[in-house]
Structure 1
Amino acid sequence: MIETIVLDVGETIARDDRYWAAWADWLKIPRHTLSALVGAVVAQGHDNAEALRLIHPGIDVACEYRAREAAGLGECLEESDLYEDVRPALLELRRLGVRVVIAGNQSARVGTLLRGLDLPVDVIATSGEWGVAKPQPEFFQRVVEVAQATPSATLYVGDHPANDIFPAKAAGLRTAHLRRGPWGYLWADDADVKAAADWRIGSLTQLPTLIGR
């Protein structure tokens, strides 16, 4: 029985459009160019920040991030960035008495912005706040801690196989691969993903039905 559901952030509950558009504008390149590069490097198995290094070799991403913040152009997350199924799914899970956690590879600022949206969840945490990021096993150890349930009673939902599905499965959690966003679509029919995911879904509104089973 699933007692806790843990949701990834990027392309699971929130679109990444604004994030990458802001980087493209900051680096003064077309938005489509950066989006295409991000897709290419991730499909090759690299970290998405590698796309920034292709544009500006030697770029200090952390330094540029701080410069954006200082210029008043830091990360922004608003209600319009959430996928339409997020609030209906969360409200139904709360009605069913399921503990819900949001935990993903984001900065501490994004954690603050998410809490400002007043989502009906029990815990919001980011890698920036924990000091450890997916796919490291330590991240999923923290997930198990905040889930307050055994790994087998905890379901991790995400779009990215290497960051979400495979390491969550290795940690003993149940997994649901979400067919959404570039990575969700790219690996939707991958044989390894099919084998590792307990469920494959196209919408978060399917989650209440899953736990009912």
Structure 2
Amino acid sequence: MIETIVLDIGETIIRDDRYWASWADWLDVPRHTLSALVGAVVAQGRDNADALRLVRPGIDVGAEYRAREAAGRGEHLDETDLYPDVRPGLTALCRLGVRVVVAGNQTRRAGELLRDLDLPADLVVTSGEWGVAKPHPEFFRRVLDVADAAPSATLYVGDHPANDVFPAKAAGLRTAHIRRGPWGHLWADDPDVVGAADWRIDSLTDLAESLEE
């Protein structure tokens, strides 16, 4: 029985459109160019930040991030960045009586912005706040610390096989792969993903309905 559901952030509950568009504007390249490069590095199994390094070789991503913040062009999240099924999906999960945690690879600032949205979740936390990121096993040890449930009773939901499904499975958690965003669509029917995911879903409301059955 699932007691706690932990959800990834980027392309699971929030769209990354604004994130990459803002980087393209900051680096003064067409948005489509950077978007296409993100897709290319994803298909190659590389870090998506490599798209920024292709646009500007030698870039210090952390330094540029701080420069954006200082210029008033830093991270921003609002209701329009949420996928439309997020609030109804999380609400439905809460009604099932499970603990709902949002935990993914994001900055400290993103954590603050997400908490300001007052999502129907028991906890929102980011890798930037923990000081460790997926797919490192320590991230999933932290997940279990806040899950308040055994690994077999904890379900991790995400779109990225290498960052979400496979390392969560290796940590003993149950897993759900969501088909959305570039990673979710690209690897949705990959045999390894199909074999590792306990659930394969198209939306968070799908997940709530599946768990209710």
**Bin for the TM-score computed over the shorter chain:** over 0.9
Q: CA RMSD in A?
A: 0.7
Whether 2:100 is the aligned partner of 1:100: answer: yes
Matches within 5 A, 1:14-25: 14-25=14-25
CA–CA distance in 2 between the matches of 1:66 and 1:208?
38
Aligned equivalents of 1:180, 1:88: Cα separation in 2: 17
1:135 corresponds to which residue?
135
Alignment partner of 2:139: what SS? helix
1:65-93 C-alpha deviation (Å, 9 max, x unpaired): 00000000000000010001000011111
| Distance across 2 between alignment mates of 1:147 and 1:136 | 17
Shift of 1:206: 1.3
Structure 2: stretches of 5+ with no match in the other structure: none
Q: Structure 1 residue 210: deviation in Å?
A: 2.5
Which whole-Å CA distance do the structure 2 matches of 1:101 and 1:210 have between them?
18
Identity %: 77
Normalised by the size of structure 2, how large is the TM-score?
0.99
Q: Could you say which residue in structure 1 is the equivalent of 2:204?
A: 204
Unpaired segments of 5 or more residues in structure 1?
Answer: none
Structure 1 counterpart of 2:62: 62
| Distance in 2 separating the partners of 1:208 and 1:91 | 9
**What whole-Å deviation, never above 9, does each CA across 1:73-116 have from its counterpart, x for those lacking one?**
00000001000100001111111211000000000000000000
Count of residue correspondences? 213
Show CA shifts across 1:189-213 (max 9, x none). 1000001001100010012222234
Cα distance, 1:42 vs structure 2: 1.6
User: What TM-score do you get using the length of structure 1 for normalisation?
Assistant: 0.99
Q: Which moved more, 1:17-26 or 1:44-53?
A: 44-53
Q: Given residue 111 of structure 1, which amino acid in structure 2 is its aligned partner? A: G
Distance in 1 (CA, whole Å) between partners of 2:186 and 2:137 is 24
